[in-house]
Each structure stands twice: as C-alpha cells, then as structure tokens.
Amino acid sequence: MSRKALRKDFYMEIRRSLGRFLSIFFIVAIGVAFFSGIRSAEPDMRLSGDAYFDRQNLMDIKVVSTLGLTADDLKALEKVDGIQKVEAGYSTDALCSVNDSKKVVHISSLLPSMNELTVEEGRLPETADECIVDVDFLTGSGYAVGDKITFLSGTDDKITDTLKTDTYTIVGTASSPCYISFHRGSSTIGTGTVSGFVSVLEDSFDMDVYTEMYAAVDGAKELTAFTDEYDDHVEKTIDEVEKIRKAREDARYQEIVDEATDKLNDAKKELEDAKNEAADKLNDAKTKLDDGRNQLENAKTEISNGYAQLEDSRNQLIQKQNEVSQGYEDLNAQADVLNGKVEELNQVKAQYEALAASGMTDEQTQYTLQVMYAQITEGDAQIEAARTQIDAARGQLDSGQQQINDAWAQIEQAQSELASGESELASKEQELNDAQAEYDDAKSEADTKIKDGEKKIKDAEKDISKIEHAKWYIYDRSTLTEYTSYGENADRMKAIGEVFPVLFFLVAALISLTTMTRMVEEQRTQIGTLKALGYERHSIAGKYIGYACLATISGSIFGILVGEKILPYIIITAYGIMYQHIDTVLIPYNMYYGMAASLAALACTLIATIFSCFNELREQAAELMRPPTPKQGKRVFMERIPFLWKRLSFIWKATVRNLIRYKKRFFMTVFGIGGCMALLLVGFGLKDSIFDIAVLQYEEIQLYDGNVILEEDASSEEKEETYDKLVSDKRVEETAENFLQQVEVTHGKEKQDVYLNVPRDVNEFSDFVIFKDRVTGERYELDDSGAIISEKTAKMLDAGVGDTVIIKDDVKGELEVKIAKICENYIGHYIYLSEDLYEQLYGEAPEYNSIYYTMKEGKMDELEKVGESILETDGALSVSYTNNMQQQLDDMLGSLDIVLVVLVISAGMLAFVVLYNLNNINITERKRELATLKVLGFFDNEVSAYVYRENMILTVLGSAVGILLGKILHQFVIVTVEIDSAMFGRNIDFSSFVYSFLITMGFSFFVNGVMYFKLKRIDMVESLKSVE
Amino acid sequence: MKDFVKLEGITKIYKMGEVEIRAVDGIDFAINKGEFVIIVGPSGAGKTTVLNILGGMDTATGGKITVDGADITSCNSRQLTSYRRNDIGFVFQFYNLVPNLTALENVELALQICKDPLDAREVLEEVGLGGRLDNFPAQLSGGEQQRVSIARALAKNPKLLLCDEPTGALDYNTGKSILKLLQDMCRERGMTVIVITHNSALAPMADRLIRIKNGKVSGMEQNSSPVSIDEIEW
C-alpha cells in the first residue's frame, strides 16, 4: 500500500463500490451493535441495579432470630470481621382495611442509615404516631397522605403489644430498595400476601428485643450486586457471621431460659408461700370453726340444761303452787275454822253482851261473865292470834304466790331467753355451716389452685426444657422480595444475549465474509494484472485486507458506539416498568463485549478476505487473467423424479437448477431469512406465550371469577352465613368450597411454596378448575390415589408422575404424597388433594376456608359488587378476582412489548440486509446471464421474475427453516425468561406464524422491489464482454 | 427485398466529461433481405456499437434505423425489447449460454418468449448437435457452445441474425465450421445474417461487405458471386 497508485486504487475502490463498503459497514455495525448491545444489557442491568442499591444503602446481610435480638447481639455482630456497620430494627406484619377488605402490610422501623427509603411524596415520619407508606400500596388503596390509618394485628394478640399505638397519620409515600418490584412478600396473617410496606420510627415499636439486624459488609458497596464477586464477598462475611452464630444463639437461649427459670423459681416460691399461707389460713379457719362448733355444742348443752332446769323449776313451781294452793286451802280452812271460832266467839260475845246487857250481875253471871269474858278475850286473843297467824300464813302464801309468779315470770323469761338462745344457736350453727362450706370451698379451691400452680410450674418447667434453641437466620440480599428476580432477569437477558445477537452476528459475519470473497473473485483479472505487473502478493492482498479492515473496524466502532448505548437503554427502560423504583440507568461502554464482537467480526472478514485473496494469488497471473473455469452445470436430484420434473415448466426447471447451483447463496439466504423469520416468530411467539397465559389460565384452567377467603377465626355460623349469602346471590352462578393453604413442598433438594387446594366436591370442581395434560389435552379427575400437581411446580421440584413429594406442615411435620398427575397450569403453584387423601395425610378433615365462585353470564360487571357484599359478612376475610390478576399480569409483562419491538425491528433489519446483500451479490454474479436474457428479448419484469422466482422460493424455504428455528428458539427463550411463579405458554399462535411469514415476505418483496431497479440498470452490452 | 435493413446517419456519442467520443459517426447502409452481410473493420472502429444499436441493445444518439419497415430508433425500451424478442437473433462472441441449462434448455430458454419459434430439437440437430442435447455448456467444446448459441438465435425464427465475432474465441477449423453453418442457414432459410469480424479474409463469402473505420462506413461492396467458406483460407 506504500505505492501511490495502489493507494489511489484503494480509495477509488471504496468510492466506486460504496454500496458494498457500506453494506459491510452496516452489517458489521448491526451485528456488533446487537452482539455488544444486548450482551451489555446484562452487566448494565446489574450496574444500574447496583447503583440504585448503593445509593439507598441497601443492607448486605440480614439477621433475624427466632428469639429476637438484643443489644449484645448487635455488638457481637459489629465485631465480626468484614462487617462494616450494623443497624437493628423492628418489624411486624399487620392488617389494615382497604376498600372493605383487609390487606396485610409489613410495618418496620426506619433504620438510621440503611435501606434508605426514597420519599415520593410528603416526608418521613417524625413522631411515633406518624408513618410513611409504600407508594405502590397507597395508590388505589383509598388512603392519601394526611389520612389516618389503623392497624390490626391479625392474630389473637393485640397490635399494641408490638406497637405503641394502632393508629398512625400517613405523612408521606415512599419506595424502598427492599421492594423493587410489585411483590411485597408473604405473611402468616390475613390473606398471606403482603400488599405494602409501612415505615415508622423506632419509637413506635414497643418491643423488648429487636426483630432483625442489618449489616453492611466492608467493601461490598464497591462490588456490583448480582455478580459472583459480590455474592462471594458477602458469602465470606456470612461465613464469619456464622462463627458467632452459635455463641449468640446459646447466649440468647440461656438468657431466655434463665429469665424463665428465674420466673419459675419465683413462681415456685410464691406458690410455696401461697401454699403455706393458705394452709395457715385454713388451719386457723379450721380451729375457729372447731371452736365455734364446740362452743355451739356447749351452748346447746347449756340450753338443753337450761330447758331441763326450767322444767325442774317449772315442776318445783307447780309443786310449790300446789303447796301454796294447799296452803291457801288450809288457810281458808283455818280461816273457816277461825271464822267458825269467831262465830262462836261472836255468839259468846253476843251471849256475853246479852248477859252483860241483861244486867245480871250475878256472880254466876258475873262469873260467867268473867269466864265468858276471859273466854272472849282469850278467844279474841286466840282469834287474833289465829288471824295473825292466818294473815301471816296468808302473807307467806301471798309472798309464796308472789314468788311463784315471779318464778313463772322468770321461767317465762328463761324460756324466751332459751328460745332466743336457741335461735341464735341455730343461726350460729348456720353460720358455722356456712363457714364450714366456705372453708371447704376455700380448701378445695386452694387445693385446685395449688394443683394448678403446681401443674403450671411443671408445665413451665417442661416449657423451659422445651424452649427451642434460638435460631439465627442469616440472609443475604436474596431474602428481599424480587431482589433475586432482578438478577434473574439480568441472567435472562444474558441468555437472550447469548442467542439472538449470536444469530445476528453469525449472519453478519457470513454476509461480510461472502461479500469480501465475492469482491476478491470479482477482481480476479485485476489481481492477475497486478501480479503480472510484478506486485508482491501482500501489496495486492493489502487492498482487500485494508478494505475489509476499514469497513469492519469502522462498522464495529459505529456499532459499539450506538449499540452499547441504545440497546441497553431500551432494555433497562423496558425492565423499568417492572422495577419502576430503580431509577438509575447506567450504561457504560463494555469494552469486553465490544472488543469481542469487533475482533470476531474482524477475524471473520479478514480470514475470509485473506483466504480468498491468497486462493486467487496462488494461481499464475496468466491463469488469473483468463476467466475462471465455469462451474459445471449439474442435474439436480429432482430431475431423477420425472414425475415431478416433467410437471415443472421450463422456467421453473431453470429456477430449481439455479437454486441448487448457487449453494452458498442458497444456504445464506435460507439462513438469513430463516433467522429473520425465527426472530419474528420468537417475538410474536413470546407475546403469545406470555399474554396467553392470562387467557389460558383464567379462561381454560381456572374458570372461577372470584375467590372468597374465609376468616380463620370466624365461627362456623359466620362462615355459614358468608357461604349462604354467596350461594343465594342471584348474580352468582356456582360456588365451590375449598381448603386453600400455602405449604412448602419439597422433593429431594428442591423446594417450592405451593398452594395446597382440597376441593370439597371433586365432581363439581371441574366447573372451577380443569385438570388436563397440556400436550395431549387429556382430562384428569382428582382421586385418592395421589395428588395432582401443577406443571411448573413439578418442573421446579424436578418431580414427575409417580414420584413422592413431601408437604411440610408446621404441625404435622413432613407428609409424603405421591404425584398422580401433572396438570397444565400457568400462574402460581398448586397441589390438589382429594378430601380423603387429605384426611389420610393430616389425620383430620380439612377446614374449608375458601369459596370459589363463578358469575352468571352477563353479570360479570357486577363481580366486584358481589365481592363487596360478601366482605360485609363476618365470615369473609378477603376476596380476590381473577380478572384483577389478569390485569396485573398484563401490566407486569407489558415491559416485554418493547423487547418485542426491538426484536421485530432487528429482524426486519436483518432480513433486509441479508436479502439485499445476497441479492446484490447474486445479481452481480449473474450479470452476464441476465444481460443475455435481456438481449434475448426478456422484458424487465420477466428478467426480474427470473430472479424473483428464486428469491421467493428461498424466502419460502427460509421461512420454513425459520419456523423450525423459531420454534426451537422460542422454546429456549421461553424457558429462560420464565419467572419462577409462572409457566409461560409453550405455544405460538397460528396468527403469529402468519404475521411472521407475511412480514418476512414483506421484507423480501421490499428488497426485491429495490432490486428491480438494479436489474433494470443492467447493461446488455455487458453480455458482449468477455467473461471476467 | 430491397433495403430490408436501413441505417441513416447513425451516430453514437459518449460524453466523458468535457470530451465527446464519437464511437459511431454517421453510418449509412442498407441491406436486403436474405443477404449474408459481413461488417469488417479494425478494433474500436465502432462495428460492435453499430451492431448493438441495430440489435436494439443500445440506442443511437442520432440517425434512423428501419428494419422491415419499422423505425426502431424511435422505439422506447419496451418496444426495443419486443423487437429483440421477435425480430433479432443474437450470436455472441463468448456464446453467453446459461451455464446451468443443457444445450436443449438453452435453446428453449429463448423459445419461451417467442411468438413463432422453431422446434428446439430440430434446430439443434440442424446445427449438428443432435446427440448432445442434454449436455451442459461446460461439457461442450467452444464450437459446440457456439452452435448452441446459434441454434438459440435461429430457433427464435428472427428476421435478422446478428453475430458479433462469432469465431473470435474459436480455433480456425471450428471457426470455419461455424461460419459455414451461418452461411448455410442464410442460404437455406433465407435468413438475413450480419456477421461482425475483424478478419477481412472472410470478405469473399459475403453477399455484401461493409467496411467500417473510425465510426464511419469506409466502403461497401456487393458480391454477386460469394464463395463458400470452404474455399477460403486465411
């Protein structure tokens, strides 16, 4: 190239064949752009994600413990090698009402510096009764910044056990680096699905121990997340943390056990004291009671004695009375006697009087009088004496009587006293009995209490012995919801990047290779001339090598510059729809991919050029200046099938021969067109497979429209009410009761969270969920022979029909169940058991907690109204609708649209460049033949048709190859881009085949259209020239 | 038939920037039907350009050509194509056979588009290739290829058979036999044949000899008693 003439020739060559130069330039540019661009998308995604995580100071390690974490744990973790910083926090799950249903939110305390939130609106909480809420959750929840939000614990414990208050003012919305996509993880309360996060100040929590610790790892920030370097680095630190784990677990366990033991001992002592006290008290009471009883007994005796005495007294009194009465009688008798005597005396007196009155003073009379007087005086005296005696006696009697009366009164008194004593006694006795009963009660109560206490202590002792060892869970970032999925998406991008661009690149390399080979062949004569003139080989070859280098290198640079910026940008932006909070887009130039692509491109073209150059140069100059020996015309295989061959018109025969003759072109075109068709097919197919799953899932597999989840704690009446309400709703067509629970299923090393579904009525269940084989379409029935498991789940578990998987239950442990059938299912993971099988496994009947329902035709609009009305019942916890899920899914997968557009556009470009180039080469190669045709009088359109016919056949053949290639690619891509929770369709719609074919044909027609003008420009005079 | 082909003041001027190159500079001649015409001249005299214009493969800058009464200089490209298709048979120096088609098929290729073609086999037999119908061009010698080329031109049953240095790439004997074939065709079929050659030794075999030099007709001779090619040696 040192020679001026050659240099000039070189520049002239480029100018003269600018089309060829540009075609190499662009095909290399496209190839390199695609290769390096799509490849770069993967590291760029990681970089962008990493930049976001670094900015938000996302934790590297998370530690949670089954027994909580203390300040000591914090200190211990801080001291671990490689740990840069540790921050501890609290978190809990809670329920809050959203649009009549209860949604689960994850409440956590704001960390001092880590896991920084991005405030989208408002501000961070400043007081303990303020909170900042997930921006995605708040939108559409009915809450707004400034509203108050009340949380429920969703368990038997009060929310205020963990939080200081249950009502918070929403002061802002935020996004968190812990939740980069739509999902917020799962929970053990409510629906089991966390709908959003809520962040509060640490002060808002009312807990003794931290629930989690977050750590930043030294030097982790400098590494890129989602790379092995980062993972290994963090893994190493985790290993360090593992070293303190045992000690900390034991410490925490010991702490809890000590605490419990202390408490137990206190309790024991207390019990002992209580026992003693109770015994004392009981004894006192018993003594008192006994005393009382003795006293009572004494009193009783006394009273009965009293009664006896009283009786005695009474008897005596009666006797006395009798005596007195006798006395009176005697006295009366005496008085009578006295009265008689008085009478007598009176007589005597009267006699005396009479005598005295008679005046008789005779002695006799005197005497008599005297005697009589004496008698009278004596009688008087006697009478007086007697009277006095009587009186005295009477007085005595009277006083006796009086005494008796008094005594009676006394007796009366005593009697009544005794009676009252008795009644008192009775009441006392009653009291005593009561006291006794009380005592008995107290005693038995004390006994039971003591027994209880003892039992409790025993239980507590048992509990203490049963206190599980503290278990630390040390997580890296993969514990964060969707964190891994971002990395997986990057991996998927990588997988795509390993297929598509390579395809592109191959085509590009082949095209530039062909072009360069063609160029060298075309210039055979010139090469011969130069050689004849005595130029050295390398000088001659230098032109072509330089030409190839210049075109390839400039194309590569252009491709890298454009491709590595635009493609990753498009892809990251597309994924941004899914990861909308990752707002960093870093797209540096990845020299590695760029260089790799450029070097490969350069190598391809250069080797091809050098090879063909030296191939030509090997020949003698004279030989070179003669036309190359024409290729032998060959009979094609088809000619040996006269049946077919004879039916072809002459022109078709020629076409077939031509096709077979230019094998390189044939394969290149078929490959190029096939690639284009395949790309299109993959593009459309992806759309079909992904967008179809919602349709397939909810229109062909899960036929129900809504699912009511029943409140776990609701009474059976309440549940019944909910069920009845749903069944009686006129808008509802059918309902089915199910048991629905999330369980972990394992098979070998694989494990998967799966929904366990036990339908109550297996026969009716086919109206709600259809079990069938995806490929054969064979329908399955659920029976007791084994479980039906969804296809993706089986795949994730690496289990097949007849394998035994293990359902892990918190209570029942590991339950083994055989897989009877595998059913088609696209979204979510399910394992279906029949009621009997469930009973066999769990030993109890399932408690139906979910009701599927379908709407009557034409009533679909009212689906959510039905749901709302059901939620009003106490038995309903939540309602979900399949059309919502469909919507969500569509949103989520919408990002793929852009990828599709990229695919379609690139396929178009590919097709165009390939066809254009190959046609160009074809026409140039066959210029002479075409010119001859023109001379023979073929019209322009006939000449074009001659070429087009071949192109069309190649396009059709290419499309056929493309269908095959596309199906394989599609399968591959689907499997690689598939997310864990869903199975994408494996099918490509017929319409997609049609579209892809039509578009491919369209490109082909377009290129042919462009070629028409080129054909028209072919000069017939060419045909007269000697063969070059 | 007089003046079956007539050229009047045909010029072809190529403009190369400022410079005008007069490849053909006013050529007039006329040919009668059934004549065997030889146009002879040195390299670069413009004989091929004249032939191309006459054959409808190129257009003249000026002048007029009538063939069988039709003015072909006023034709558009489509009409020219029809003219080539129906009225002209062309024999190339390098045969220009489609390498991918057998001898028979090469002939058939031309017949595909013709209104009133002859039978391909017969024509090939006539040119002496009856036994090589199914051979591909690469399997044929140069003379045989040229025969196929002639057969292809003849089978169209054209009004005018134009041959541009038909023997240029052939050895002496083969060239002679090809010329003989052309002469025979002219005589037997009454075909008007125009042969371009730089070999003036061929002049005696022509009915009419046209000499061209520097884009002009330098002389035209009519030969009332042409000799057979067999008698010519060079």
Tell whether B127 is covered by a domain: yes
Q: Closest to B94 (Cβ–Cβ): which among A661, A1021, A1026? A: A1026
Q: Which residue's structure tokens are 């290419």?
A: A958
The tokens for A88 are 């501890």
Burial class (CB in 10 A: 0-12, 13-18, 19+), A172: buried
Q: Please tell me the total count of domains within chain B.
A: 1
Distance from CA of B81 to the nearest CA of A (A): 5
Distance from CA of A571 to the nearest CA of B (A): 49
**What is d(CA B141, CA B145) in angstroms, rounded to the nearest whole number?**
6
- Closest residue in chain B to residue A662, using alpha carbons only: B100
Distance from CA of B46 to the nearest CA of A (A): 13
Domain boundaries, chain A: 1-54+494-629, 55-237, 279-464, 702-882
Q: Taking all residues of chain A, what is their mean pLDDT, rounded to a whole number?
A: 82
DSSP code, position A639: G
Q: Which residue's structure tokens are 């744990």?
A: A73
Element (H, E) at B59: none
Query: Between chains, do B109 and A928 touch, taking CB under 8 Å as contact?
Result: no
Stronger pLDDT, A403 or A997, i.e. the higher one: A997
Amino acid at A699: E
DSSP code, position B58: S
- Compute CA distances A97 → A149, A194, A719, A888, whole Å: 8, 13, 20, 21
Give the per-residue pLDDT at A634: 66
Give the per-residue pLDDT at A421: 81
Query: Between chains, do A936 and B152 touch, taking CB under 8 Å as contact?
Result: yes
Query: Between chains, do B92 and A1023 touch, taking CB under 8 Å as contact?
Result: yes
Top residue of B81, B100, B140, B148 to mutate, by most chain A CBs within 10 Å, is B100
Give the per-residue pLDDT at A597: 85
- Closest residue in chain B to residue A1026, using alpha carbons only: B94
Tell whether B25 is covered by a domain: no
For residue A649, is pLDDT > 70? yes
How big is the A-B interface in CB pairs under 8 Å? Answer: 99
Tell me which chain A residues have a C-beta less than 8 angstroms from the C-beta of B57. 934-935, 1020-1021
Tell me which chain A residues have a C-beta less than 8 angstroms from the C-beta of B86. 937
Tell me which chain A residues have a C-beta less than 8 angstroms from the C-beta of B85. 936-939
State how beta strands A706-710 and A850-855 pair. Answer: antiparallel
Tell whether B171 is covered by a domain: yes
Map residue A328 onto helix, strand or coil.
Answer: helix
For B93, the domain range is: 30-59+70-231
Query: Between chains, do A633 and B138 touch, taking CB under 8 Å as contact?
Result: yes
> What pLDDT digit, counting tens, does each position of B58-73 carry?
888 888 999 888 888 8
A279-464 fold: Helix Hairpins (1.10.287)
- Closest residue in chain A to residue B138, using alpha carbons only: A632
**What is d(CA A1025, CA B54) in angstroms, rounded to the nearest whole number?**
17
Question: Cβ contacts of residue A648 below 8 Å, gap of 6+?
Answer: A638, A656
For residue A554, is pLDDT > 90? yes
A55-79 mean pLDDT? 88
> What pLDDT digit, counting tens, does each position of B115-156 carry?
778 888 888 888 888 888 888 888 888 888 888 988 888 888
Give the per-residue pLDDT at A832: 92
Stronger pLDDT, A182 or A588, i.e. the higher one: A588
Give the per-residue pLDDT at A1027: 57
Q: Give the N- to C-terminal CA distance of chain B in Å, as an integer.
A: 32
Give the per-residue pLDDT at A191: 62
> What pLDDT digit, counting tens, does each position of A118-171 carry?
898 889 999 988 999 988 888 877 888 888 898 888 777 788 888 888 899 999
Tell whether B12 is covered by a domain: no
Query: Between chains, do B98 and A934 touch, taking CB under 8 Å as contact?
Result: no
Query: Between chains, do B86 and A940 touch, taking CB under 8 Å as contact?
Result: no
For residue A1001, is pLDDT > 50? yes
**What is d(CA A992, CA A984) in angstroms, rounded to the nearest whole number?**
16
Distance from CA of A957 to the nearest CA of B (A): 21
Q: How many other C-beta atoms lie within 10 A of the C-beta of residue B120?
A: 21
Tell whether B188 is covered by a domain: yes
How does residue A1028 score in pLDDT terms, banded at 50, 70 and 90? very low
Stronger pLDDT, A101 or B19, i.e. the higher one: B19
Q: Taking all residues of chain B, what is their mean pLDDT, rounded to a whole number?
A: 86
Distance from CA of A923 to the nearest CA of B (A): 14
Tell whether B10 is covered by a domain: no
Residues 72-101 of B with CB under 8 A from A: 77-78, 81-86, 88, 90, 92-94, 96, 98-101
Residue B169 maps to which CATH number? Answer: 3.40.50.300
Tell whether B217 is covered by a domain: yes
Query: Between chains, do B105 and A650 touch, taking CB under 8 Å as contact?
Result: yes
Tell me which chain B residues have a C-beta less than 8 angstroms from the C-beta of A656. none
> What pLDDT digit, counting tens, does each position of A477-523 carry?
877 877 877 887 787 777 777 777 777 777 777 777 778 888 888 78
pLDDT > 90 in chain A, percent: 4
**What is d(CA A676, CA A1003) in angstroms, rounded to the nearest whole number?**
10
Query: Between chains, do B90 and A936 touch, taking CB under 8 Å as contact?
Result: yes
A876-905 mean pLDDT? 71
The tokens for A738 are 């199910």
> What pLDDT digit, counting tens, does each position of A221-277 carry?
888 888 888 888 988 888 888 888 888 888 888 888 888 888 888 878 888 888 888
**What is d(CA B201, CA A197) in angstroms, rounded to the nearest whole number?**
105
Closest CA to A708 of A852, A884, A875, A860: A852
Stronger pLDDT, A132 or A348, i.e. the higher one: A132
Tell me which chain B residues have a C-beta less than 8 angstroms from the C-beta of A655. none
Bridge partners, residue A707, by sequence:
A852, A880
Query: Between chains, do B81 and A940 touch, taking CB under 8 Å as contact?
Result: yes
Q: Which residue's structure tokens are 């558009």?
A: B76
Distance from CA of B23 to the nearest CA of A (A): 14
Please, are residues A42 and A493 in contact by the beta-carbon 8 Å criterion? yes
Top residue of A635, A922, A932, A946 to mutate, by most chain B CBs within 10 Å, is A932
- Compute CA distances A818 → A505, A728, A794, A824, whole Å: 48, 38, 12, 18
Residues 130-159 of B with CB under 8 A from A: 136-139, 152, 156
State how beta strands B36-40 and B192-197 pair. Answer: parallel
Answer positive or negative: Cα dihedral of A882, A887, A891, A894: positive
How does residue A360 score in pLDDT terms, banded at 50, 70 and 90? low
List residues of chain A with CB under 8 Å from any CB of chain B.
629-634, 650-651, 653-654, 657-658, 661, 928-929, 931-940, 942, 1020-1021, 1023-1027
Answer positive or negative: Cα dihedral of A164, A165, A166, A168: negative
Q: Does B14 touch chain A (CB under 8 A)?
A: no
Give the per-residue pLDDT at A888: 65
Distance from CA of A651 to the nearest CA of B (A): 8
> What pLDDT digit, counting tens, does each position of A587-639 carry?
888 888 888 888 888 888 888 888 888 888 887 777 777 766 666 666 777 77
Query: Between chains, do A630 and B99 touch, taking CB under 8 Å as contact?
Result: yes
For residue A874, is pLDDT > 60? yes
Tell me which chain B residues have a C-beta less than 8 angstroms from the C-beta of A659. none
> What pLDDT digit, counting tens, does each position of A420-448 carry?
888 887 888 888 888 888 888 888 888 88
* Widest distance between CA atoms in chain B: 55
Residues 161-180 of B with CB under 8 A from A: 164, 169
For residue A57, is pLDDT > 70? yes
The tokens for A955 are 């396009």
> What pLDDT digit, counting tens, does each position of A966-994 carry?
888 888 877 776 767 677 777 788 888 99
State how beta strands B208-213 and B36-40 pair. Answer: parallel
Give the per-residue pLDDT at A557: 92
> What pLDDT digit, counting tens, does each position of A229-243 carry?
888 898 888 888 888
How does residue A361 score in pLDDT terms, banded at 50, 70 and 90? low
DSSP code, position A807: E
Helices (H), A118-187: 135-138
Bridge partners, residue A107, by sequence:
A92, A198
Tell whether B146 is covered by a domain: yes
